[in-house]
Structure 1
Amino acid sequence: MVNKKVADVHEALKGVSSNMTFMLGGFGLCGIPENAITELVRLKISGLTCISNNAGVDDFGLGLLLQQKQIKKMIASYVGENKEFERQMLSGELEVDLTPQGTLAECCRAAKAGIPAFYTPAGYGTEVAIGKETRAFNGKMHVLEKAFNADYSFIKAWKGDEAGNLIFKGTARNFNLPMCGAAKVNVVEVEELVPIGELDPNQIHVPGVFVQRIFKGENYIKPIEQLTLSEKKK
C-alpha cells in the first residue's frame, strides 16, 4: 500500500504558487484546514481563486488570506460573518461568484467523479443562470453547471492513516467530504495520524485513493464562530 505521509505542512504544500485555484474544506469555522491556510499566508502567494462554502471571519480562516489581498476570486455560497469579504466584494476589489450551496457541493462531487458538467434546477431564472446553457427536463427548466477544476484541495479530517484513509468527526465532515479527491492534488491535515491498518475499514469516510498527501496538523484553535449561552436559571 502506498504511504501518503509527508513530514509537515511545508512539505505538504510544495508546488503551490500564485494564480492557482484551491478548494478549502469546512463550513464556517468548522473543520477548516487551519495549518494549510496559515502556510498559504506565510508563502505570500497571490492571485488565488478559492472555492469554499464561505470565507471564515475577519481574523481567522480564509479571512487571513483576504486581509493580505492574496485572493483574487472567491467561489462561495455565503458571505457570512466576514466584513472584509463584504467590503472587498462591494468595492470591486474581489471577484465573487455566489453559488447555491447544493450546486457548490455538486460541482465538487462531479469533479471528484470525473463528470464534466451536470444540469440542476437551482438558480434558473436568477442571475446564477446568466450566460449558461439551460434545458427542460420533465417540464422543468435546468441550468448547466460545470464541475470545478482546482489545482489543490486542502482538507481537514479528525483521524487518518498513512495510506490516506480518513475519518471525520461530526459536522466537520461538511465540504471536506466532496472536496477530497476533487482537485489535481489533494492535501489532508489530520489531528491524529496512525499507521496503516489501525483504522476500522467500516468507519472510513474517504478512502486513501483520493488523497495524495497527508500530515499531522498542529496547534488547532477551533474557534466558535458565534457562541450563544442560555441565561442561568435563578
Structure 2
Amino acid sequence: MGLDKVIDDAVEAVADLPHGASLAVGGFGLCGVPSALIHALLERRTGGLRVVSNNCGVDDWGLGLLLREGLIDRMTSSYVGENKEFARRYLGGELEVELVPQGTLAERLRAGGAGIAGFYTPAGVGTQVAEGGIAWRYAPDGSVAVAAPPKETRVFHDREYLLEEGITTDFALVRAAVGDRHGNLVFHASARNFNPLAAMAGRITVAEVEELVEPGVIPPGEVQLPGVFVQRVVPVAADDPAAEKRIERRTVRPAVEGAR
C-alpha cells in the first residue's frame, strides 16, 4: 500500500470486511463513534460480527444500528448502557456477551496492539471474572449455554493477580478529528478514549476523519496515533447525516429566574 491511504467512500473502505469478522470499534457511549463506517457496514449488511467495543451504542445509533438488524453475533464490552435491545438479545440467547472490567478491556486492546500476548492484573480477583461461570450466552430456555472459563491466577509480592489475554481483531473502525493522508491522527478531547486502543488492535484499521490534511500539517509532537497503525483514511463531511454527533443522554435542569 502506498503512503496515500485515503479512500473517499466509506462503503468502499469496508467492502472487504467479511461475514464473521472480528472488529474493534472506538468510542465511549456515543462520543468518538465511527458512525459513518458503521452506516457503511449497515448498508452492506455485513453480519456475524464479533465486536470489541466499550459499549454497543444506543437502540437507534452507533453499534446499536447493527445490533438491531441482527448483524452482531458477539460483543466484548464493559458497559451495556442505554441499549435495551442489547439486554433483550443477550437475555434471550440471541447475542453472546463477554463483559470485561473497563480498564482491563482498554489494556487488553493496547496489549494486543503492542504484540503482548497477555498480562496479569488485580482487577477481578476474588470474583466470577476470575472464577468463571458468568453467562456468555443464554439458551432460549434461560439456562446458560456458554459460560466464561476460569482464569489463571498467580501471586506476585504476596498479592494475587489474574491473567488476561491481549486482543487483536481482523478490522478496527475509529473516528478522529484530524487525519492526514498517511494515517496520522488527532482526536478531539474525550473522543481520545478507546479510539487509539481499538486502532492498535486491528490488523486493518479504517479511520474516518472530520478534517483531512496534507502530510506535515500535523506537527509530529501532536500526533496522537501514528499512521503505522492505520491502513485506510475516510474523510467525512460535517453535514453527512451518517456522521452526526449525538448525545447519549441529555440532562438539563429548569431555568432559575434571575440566574445569569
User: After TM superposition, is the score higher than 0.5?
Assistant: yes
**Matches of 2:161 and 2:97 in 1, distance apart?**
23
Q: Secondary structure at the match of 2:256?
A: coil
Listed as ranges, the gaps of 5+ residues in structure 2 are 133-149
Amino acid at match of 2:88: R
Match of 1:182 among 201, 213, 217: 201
Shift of 1:204: 1.2
Question: Offset at 1:7?
Answer: 2.2
Within 5 Å, give how 1:108-123 maps onto structure 2.
108-123=109-124
Could you tell me how far apart the structure 2 residues matched to 1:106 and 1:201 are?
Answer: 25
**Is 1:146 paired with 2:147?**
no
User: Which amino acid is 1:147 matched to?
Assistant: G
Match in the other structure for 1:134: 153
Q: Which residue of 1 aligns with 2:188?
A: 169
Note the alpha carbon deviations across 1:91-144, whole angstroms, 9 max, x for none. 111110000000100010001110011111111121212221111111111111
Counterpart Cα distance in 2 of 1:6 and 1:126? 46
Q: TM-score of the superposition, structure 1-length normalised?
A: 0.97
Query: Which residue number in structure 2 is paired with residue 232 of structure 1?
Result: 255
Residue 210 of structure 1 aligns with an amino acid whose one-letter code is F
Structure 1 residues not aligned, in runs of 5+: none
Moved more, 160-169 or 176-185: 176-185
What's the counterpart of residue 32 of structure 2? 31
Identity of aligned residues (%): 47
What is the SS of the residue equivalent to 2:30?
coil
The CA distance in 2 between the partners of 1:12 and 1:46, in whole Å, is 16
Tell which deviates more after alignment, 134-143 or 95-104: 134-143
Write the distance in 2 (CA, Å) between the matches of 1:45 and 1:163: 27
Matches within 5 A, 1:1-234: 2-129=3-130, 130=132, 131-218=150-237, 219=240, 220-234=243-257
Alpha-carbon offset, residue 18 of structure 1: 0.7
TM-score after normalising by structure 2: 0.88
What is the CA–CA distance in structure 2 between the aligned matches of 1:21 and 1:140, rounded to whole Å?
Answer: 34
Question: 1:38 Cα deviation (Å)?
Answer: 0.3
Q: Secondary structure at the match of 1:177?
A: helix
CA deviation map 1:22-43 (0-9, x unaligned): 0000000000000110011111
Which is further off, 85-94 or 215-224? Answer: 215-224
Q: Which has the larger radius of gyration?
A: 2
For 1:216 and 1:61, locate their aligned partners in 2 and report how far apart those are by CA, in whole Å. Answer: 18
Q: Assess if the C-alpha contact under 8 Å between 2:22 and 2:171 holds in 1.
A: yes
